[in-house]
Amino acid sequence: MHFAFTDEQEQFRASVQRFLRERAPITAVRSAMETTLGYDRTLWRQLCDELGLPGIQVPEALGGQGFGFVELCIALEEMGRALLCAPFFASSVLATQALLNGASETQQLELLPAIASGQRIATLAWVESNGRWDPGGIALTATPVGTGYRLDGEKKFVLDGDHAEVILVAARAPGSVGAAGLSLLLVEAEAPGLERHPLQTLDPTRRQAALRFNGVSARLLGAAGNAGAALALTLDQAAVALASEMVGGTAALLESAVAYAKIRMQFGRPIGSFQAIKHQCAELLLAQELTAAAARYAAAAVAENAPDVPALAALAKARASDTYLQAAVECIQIHGGVGFTWDHDTHLWFKRAKTSQVLLGDANYHRERYLAQLEAGA
């Protein structure tokens, strides 16, 4: 049964929440997002040393905390609520899951401890300019050269890709198509022939970059030409993780909208006593409850390696894409003019909601995937 958190999980949530409220309030978010790096290194170290978050779901033998995917998603909900600026999603979700799913044991032992302790920041580069989120859209090629590989092509929308120290690249064998012929490779940040430049995005709280590979040497992870399944699994897990983060963000917006509706007076009464506002809040709560139920169920399914993870991931991400944006749009509306100002904080969540809506596939994409999964199972 996936319907309630244990007491331990609730305590864990409370401790992450307390930490973020104290050390990463929205003023800290605002100053971090103005920096070149995009996050506060001191805060990141505290997050690693005091809470051990970056390796929360990584087994202890690989330098992690040995908790499960559910705990990871609880932490993500809280990070989404706080709008934390950190390379967590890139490093601890995308890159870490890719290594857990696709690298050999020896490679995991070599690479994961530094990532799980937060010392090295990693990311996963798989999407390209065509904007296709599925592995089939990959065009960048990996050509065998001696004992290694040479990468040619480009990657785009790479989270924290301008400063990550370890870059995992999804590439295909020249001439291969679809999910076949895909490999996962490791590139060091200083590798010759690698050009990276930050992308200007809507959301200043999460960095993205474009990467060019001009004959860059790379090291193969896992078996050659065999990474299709591991990559697909990684992307499903990432969709569930992102949906969890989005559920947390939605909760923050809903709280903010309701709090304002209680205090803002117009026509001699709080605006929250007008049904137009009241009913909007009620519908938002319903949407959030439904979506949170989906994200939590999906997280538990990932933790148990359930066979329906692809369908559940699609469901959770589709719902979260719609719900987070609905909350952001309505939170601004309920705040009126002040909600449209830079000084007011709502736009920061709006921008995260807008980019998260698209990141890893929008609602239409995931609804189509969900139905295709049901058809395959019928």
Binding site for another protein (CB under 8 A): 1-4, 258, 261-262, 269-270, 272-273, 275, 277-279, 281-283, 285-286, 289-291, 293-294, 297, 315, 318-319, 364, 367-368, 370-371, 374-375, 378
C-alpha dihedral, 354 to 355 to 358 to 361, nearest 10°: -130
Q: Which two tokens stand for residue 13?
A: 């949530």
First to last CA, the chain: 24
The β-bridge partners of 153 are 213
How far is residue 281's CA from residue 330's CA, in Å, rounded to a whole number?
8
Q: What are phi and psi of 5, to 5 degrees?
A: -80, 150
State in angstroms the smallest separation of the CB of 269 from another protein.
6
How far is residue 96's CA from residue 115's CA, in Å, rounded to a whole number?
7
State in angstroms the smallest separation of the CB of 376 from another protein.
12
Nearer to another protein, 62 or 74 (CB): 74
State in angstroms the smallest separation of the CB of 303 from another protein.
16
State in angstroms the smallest separation of the CB of 202 from another protein.
25
Nearer to another protein, 57 or 321 (CB): 321
Nearer to another protein, 264 or 344 (CB): 264
For helices 7-23 and 69-82, what crossing angle results, to 10°?
30
Say if residues 221 and 186 touch (Cβ distance below 8 Å).
yes
Nearer to another protein, 23 or 264 (CB): 264
Say if residues 182 and 171 touch (Cβ distance below 8 Å).
yes
DSSP letter, residue 344: S
The β-bridge partners of 194 are 213
Nearer to another protein, 219 or 262 (CB): 262
Q: How many CA atoms lie within 13 A of 271 on its CB side?
A: 17
State in angstroms the smallest separation of the CB of 357 from another protein.
15
State in angstroms the smallest separation of the CB of 374 from another protein.
7
Nearer to another protein, 50 or 289 (CB): 289
Nearer to another protein, 205 or 256 (CB): 256
State in angstroms the smallest separation of the CB of 289 from another protein.
5
